Structure 1
Amino acid sequence: MEWLEASTENCPVQLTLDLVGEKWTLLILRDASNGIRRFDEFRRHIGLSEAVLSDRLRKLTAAGILKTVQYQEPGSRSRNEYRLTRKGWDLWPVLVALKQWGEAYTGDNEEGPVLDLRHDTCEAPVRVMVQCERGHTSLSPSDVSARPGPAARFRS
């Protein structure tokens, strides 16, 4: 079977974009990975409406990407904080890859990165790389063959 003959209904890229492919969703995930936890903090930092934020947080929670944890400020009612789950943290390399691509191809920030990610141990900048399961790193598209896998289905 060739790739053009394969159905895309169970394509993991498509299924992932169904969950997190909206701009606001990715910005919520960016902020959650950088320590933002509360509704008002997300709204203030990202600048989106309460309705849109509520909808995205509800979808991310239902998908198991975020979880809610109750908190209560003295004299106030209890509220929820939103924290990344393991499933949510597994999207972190995707966010780093988007950041890396954006720094290379959008804007012209000559002052340096807006968000400076550094390895705690050696202080080196963090980058996303593609590697195979045997440990060969920094693979490029010319180093990789793409072919339909065992879950591929014929287009109907």
Structure 2
Amino acid sequence: MTRSIVAARSMDSSCPIARSVSVLSDPWSFLLLREALLGRRTFAQFRDALGIATDVLSARLATLVEHGIMERTPYREPGQRTRDAYTLTPAGEELKTVLVALQEWGTQHMPSEKPSRVRALTRASRQPVHVGFIDDDGRKIAQDAVEFVRIENPSPVERRP
């Protein structure tokens, strides 16, 4: 089965994890998100920061735009042709949580002797942040107190504000 058929089936899935993975299906997507969170906006900035092939970069940016994670905004520098800048949408900004979770997991389970040059800090106090589980009443829940369960007849899930 080809990747496009698998992606199409995943997008029709009732599982939000399958739908998400069908869009964020390769490491480049996450690295592009990281670079966007670091302030990169242009094709050249992404290409230079990541060393990614231009055809792969074009395809990944197009997918992220198509699925509302990034948006394309025309810009023009003096003496140059009009080009597109790429910025995160609110949905793209929400993936910050996923990237912090991946960063924490990688630090814990895939350690490196080189210190990370990218850290998630609060804007105001510059303190490190961490990802955790919070229930609907706002209480912090321990990871070992959370489980995945299959629901036979699920009711529609309401979007959280």
TM-score per shorter chain, which class?
A: 0.7 to 0.9
Deviations 1:40-61 (A, max 9, x none): 1101111111000001111111
2:42 to 38, 41, 50: 38
Instruction: Give the structure 2 partner of residue 118 of structure 1.
Output: 121
Instruction: Give the structure 1 partner of residue 6 of structure 2.
Output: none
Quote how far apart the aligned CAs of 1:113 are.
3.2
Instruction: Give the structure 1 partner of residue 54 of structure 2.
Output: 50
Instruction: Give the structure 2 partner of residue 4 of structure 1.
Output: none
Query: Which has the higher relative contact order, 1 or 2, with Cα contacts under 8 A spaced 6 or more apart?
Result: 1
- Structure 2: gaps spanning 5 or more residues: 1-9, 157-161
Quote how far apart the aligned CAs of 1:90 are.
1.2
- Please give the secondary structure, in 2, of the residue aligned with 1:82: strand
Alignment of 1:57-76 (within 5 A): 57-76=61-80
Residue identity matched to 1:107: P
Deviations 1:81-118 (A, max 9, x none): 000001111111001111111111223336x4321322
User: Residues 109 and 117 (structure 1 numbering): CA distance in 2 closer, same or farther, change over 3 Å?
Assistant: farther
1:88 to 64, 88, 92: 92
Matches of 1:75 and 1:144, distance apart in 2: 56
Structure 1 runs (4+) deviating above 6 angstroms are none
Instruction: Give the structure 1 partner of residue 3 of structure 2.
Output: none
Residue identity matched to 1:12: P
Quote how far apart the aligned CAs of 1:136 are.
1.6
Alignment of 1:91-110 (within 5 A): 91-109=95-113
Matches of 1:36 and 1:136, distance apart in 2: 35
- Structure 1: gaps spanning 5 or more residues: 1-7
- Structure with max Cα Rg: 1
RMSD after superposition: 1.9
The sequence identity of aligned pairs, in percent, is 31
Matches of 1:123 and 1:48, distance apart in 2: 31
- Please give the secondary structure, in 2, of the residue aligned with 1:148: coil
1:25 to 25, 29, 32: 29
- Please give the secondary structure, in 2, of the residue aligned with 1:83: strand
Quote how far apart the aligned CAs of 1:138 are.
4.3
TM-score normalized by the length of structure 2: 0.81
- Please give the secondary structure, in 2, of the residue aligned with 1:109: coil
Matches of 2:76 and 2:131, distance apart in 1: 38
TM-score normalized by the length of structure 1: 0.83
Quote how far apart the aligned CAs of 1:32 are.
0.8
Residue identity matched to 1:124: Q
Quote how far apart the aligned CAs of 1:120 are.
2.4
Matches of 2:118 and 2:150, distance apart in 1: 37
